[in-house]
Amino acid sequence: MKTGLVTESFLDKASPFILFLALLGIPAAGAVALVLSLQIPRLAYGEANLLFAAAEIGSLFTVVVLLFLLRACLELPSAPRGFYRNVLDFLAISRWHPSVKAALVGLLVLPPTWYLRTSPALLATIRILGRRSLTSGDVRDGLDGLVTIFQLSLTGGVPLLFGLHMFTRSKPKGRILPWVLVPLLFVGTAVGVVFLVTLGH
């Protein structure tokens, strides 16, 4: 019991610093992990850049640590309120409206599902050859493409997801309106992905 009180007291004193660190650190570390996420499939077939792979693993670890610290601080009686709290809740994936959660699931599931449906040979090759399929250049390119879809959908969709989160915190009068905005978020994400691809070329 005493240990718990000491921990809570420490968190209470360090909370302003931790909150500010999370405010800056989670987006920064998340962006690094997203940019370097191609290293994940490349680790599987031995073509990863070890420096970039280490940076990606470190950034993911940083996001997880900051996320747990942020959640702990937001449970304290001294946690901030208002606009600042709403922003921190988004970073902590805390107190999200169900429509925001559904939109996040859609961003994570729909783009790779579409990609895999348009690349049936990729799944068929992996299913038949198992781990040996990783020696195939086509499979490697397919896995890189799958991760790239994740990169583009999250890059284009997360800002819109944040906008939806903040909108739900404004307490709109209609309960249905946030759900109506979810399909528009997907359309906006698709437009953003096309823009990013065009910009990249």
Q: State CA 179 to chain mean position distance.
A: 20
- How high is the pLDDT of residue 18? 93
Give the span between the Cα atoms of 77 and 61, in whole angstroms: 27
Q: Tell whether the model's pLDDT for residue 46 goes beyond 80.
A: no
Under the banding of pLDDT at 50, 70 and 90, the label for residue 200 is: low
89 found inside a domain: no
Task: Give the range of the structural domain holding residue 23, as residue numbers without chain letter.
Answer: 1-80
Question: 169 and 126 in one domain?
Answer: yes
- Based on the structure, what is the number of domains in the chain? 2
Question: 51 and 123 in one domain?
Answer: no
Question: 119 and 53 in one domain?
Answer: no
Structure tokens at 184: 């528009």
pLDDT tens digit sequence for 89-115 = 999 999 999 999 999 999 999 888 888
Give yes or no for a contact between 156 and 150, defined as CB atoms under 8 angstroms apart.
Answer: no
pLDDT tens digit sequence for 126-144 = 787 777 777 777 788 888 8
Q: Tell whether the model's pLDDT for residue 201 goes beyond 90.
A: no
Q: What percent of the chain has pLDDT over 90?
A: 50
Question: 148 and 194 in one domain?
Answer: yes
pLDDT tens digit sequence for 53-91 = 899 999 999 999 999 999 999 998 888 999 999 999 999
- How high is the pLDDT of residue 183? 94
Indicate the pTM of the whole model. 0.87
What are the CA-CA distances from residue 44 to residues 49, 69, 135, 188 (Å)? 12, 31, 10, 33
Q: Tell whether the model's pLDDT for residue 44 goes beyond 50.
A: yes
Question: 180 and 101 in one domain?
Answer: yes
Number of Cβ within 10 Å of residue 21's Cβ equals 14
